[in-house]
Structure 1
Amino acid sequence: MQQKIVCFGETLWDVLPSGKQPGGAPMNVAIHLRRNGFDPVVVSRVGDDDLGKELISFLKKQQVNTEWLQTGQTHLTGVVKANISDRNEVTYKIVEPVAWDYIQYEDRIADLISQSDVFIYGSLVARNITSQETLFQCLPLPKLKIFDVNLRPPHYTLERVMTLLGFANIVKMNHQELAEICEWLGVEGNIATQMQFIKDRFSLDLVIVTRGENGAAALNDTGFFEHEGFRVEVEDTIGSGDAFLATFLTNYLQQKPLEQTLERACLVGAFLATHRGATPAYKPHEITSESLNSSNENRILHS
């Protein structure tokens, strides 16, 4: 696979009751893309501290390029306190300011992004003016821009989200984010109607909406598609959306039918929900509906 993919944004540690886990949506997506045969690049910033060194070491073990990870002396590596008391709806307390709030613009980063085929970004990295300005300088450069909305209160504003939507070619969000954005814009109707409005309003090629245990939907110029999802015993949902996006993108770039792409992404997202943390070890080709059902039945029998 020759596509050059850049994931821009936060790299951090998710702090769980069981201990800390590497996290941050852009990094998670990059790791899942690497497992699908790509060679993605993460543009982010960590602190010159033990946690930052651990993250770099972790990414190297995952065979993800760390050349573009900046190291800062002033701010510590990012930490997020994750509350998994509701396994289906994880909540987060995101510490600030931290290193990834201060991603510095560099000409070499701009060159990297301008030569990329795919650029993935989210809303969280734009919470601080430094990383926000770096992102806005880079957004006009890439060929294909994918906005992974990822709203984390209180780290976003309506104006900022609208601006980020305006740059995108493809948008991925969850059903709650779709409802919130449509409420801002005064849009009613069912999910297909709301997705069509978002697509038209921001001149998008594709809108993807995940719906948790109810699967996902996608809408492009050829129509509206949905998949009901896979029923599993949930360990936690951390990183499920990131695995979904990486899997969807893998199949989308291979120009597979949208129905097939959506089903595959739902399958891998469901698989992630049966494991702890955002990046458990797996081989994509080994994940099938049959293996997922078998694993789920074994988990229920032994619970």
Structure 2
Amino acid sequence: MKNLVIGIGEALWDILPDGKKIGGAPANFSYHVSQFGLNSLVISAVGHDKLGNEILSDFDGKLLNHHISKVEYPTGTVQVELDNEGVPYYDIRENVAWDNIPFTDSMKGLAQRAKAVCFGSLSQRNIVSRTTIHQFLDEMPDEGTYKIFDINLRQGFYTKEILCTSMQKCNILKINDEELIAVSRMFGYPGIDLKDKCWILLAKYNLKMLILTCGVNGSYVFTPGVVSFIETPKVIVADTVGAGDSFTASFIASILKGKSVEEAHRLAVNVSAYVCTQNGAMPQLPDYFIK
């Protein structure tokens, strides 16, 4: 497989009020990329347990390619509670399989064939997986590839060092408005307009793009000298789990297919709005999105 689009990091079970569903941003991302006909793959780890076997069976059933190591830690779970507006709150179990993803020779080969990769901060909370992710990024070609850092701050499982190193290694940063405020406080420029913060990060880390999502208040894509803004469609929300991952997947799939930033942004907004109307993170997308 050439021109791989890869999600690397956590693969786990979200324990929702209505039962358990496959979760983890890299898996969500890779699944949605696969729906656009691209060669996607998820890299993670599960335990030698029933929950781990169920994840592998689920990925196989979805025809989602994967490089999943089995390790001597339990498969990850997250207790998810939804507020009255469908917004999730997470209780993420620690010291689990995806905290301990080993770097393998076959993973090196995948990195060298990767056209794009998406990674976050949560999967770097443990030194083992953090080292693996950094090795993977370093093995990717520098020219013509996209390294997307979907910052995804969760439960204090991040440090300034992790965020800074990740922004140095990525060339696309995806962040939401609440995360941007937290990062700007940590990096020492609070009180500046959100858009100005984005321009600062774009320039400081020499990014190709910065994606800022602001919930119901729309989203932005910043590139050097140009910004795209699109309002968020009004929909009846079932839950917002995985909506951000579908946004990232739809956006990068469109860019890889040669669409403009504005076209990719429009599709990403519409796909993520649709995912908000469905239960769980991995609904099948209607055909009209798959063009």
- Which residue is 1:217 aligned to? 220
Q: After alignment, is 230-239 or 251-260 more displaced? A: 251-260
Instruction: Give yes or no for the alignment of 1:160 onto 2:158.
Output: no
Q: Which residue of 2 aligns with 1:7?
A: 7
- Unpaired runs of 5+ in structure 1? 289-303
Amino acid at match of 2:222: L
Distance 1:126 1:217, change over 3 A: same
TM-score (norm 1): 0.90
Distance 1:180 1:88, change over 3 A: farther
Task: Answer whether contact 1:39 1:64 (CA < 8 A) is retained.
Answer: no
Say if 2:163 is the partner of 1:130: no
Amino acid at match of 2:25: A
SS in structure 1 at match of 2:111: helix
Q: Give, in angstroms, the shift of residue 254 of structure 1.
A: 2.0
AA in 2 matched with 1:71: K
Pairing 1:79–2:73 present? no
Partner-residue secondary structure (3-state), 1:21: strand
In 1, distance between residues paired with 2:162 and 2:10? 17
The 2-side partners of 1:286 and 1:156 are apart by 34
Q: Which amino acid in the other structure matches residue 130 of structure 1? A: V
Q: 2:116 corresponds to which residue?
A: 118
CA contact (8 A) 1:101 1:125 kept: yes
| Paired position in structure 2 for 1:69 | 68
Query: Which has the larger displacement, 111-120 or 180-189?
Result: 180-189
List gaps (5 residues or longer) in structure 2: none
CA contact (8 A) 2:2 2:114 kept: no
In structure 2, how many angstroms separate the alpha carbons of the residues matched to 1:139 and 1:266? 27
Q: What letter is aligned with 1:65?
A: N
TM-score, reference length from structure 2: 0.94
- Alpha carbons 1:10, 1:45 under 8 Å: kept: yes
Other structure's SS at 1:203 match? coil
Q: Which runs of 4+ in 1 moved over 3 A?
A: none
Query: Does the Cα contact within 8 Å between 2:3 and 2:113 map onto a contact in 1?
Result: no
What CA deviation, in whole Å up to 9, does each residue of 1:186-215 have, x standing for no partner? Answer: 224322211110101111110001111222
Secondary structure of the residue aligned to 1:31 is helix
Within-5 A mapping of 1:77-226: 77-143=75-141, 144-187=146-189, 188-226=191-229
% identical aligned pairs: 34
CA RMSD of aligned residues (A): 1.7
The separation in 1 between residues aligned to 2:85 and 2:10, in whole angstroms, is 23
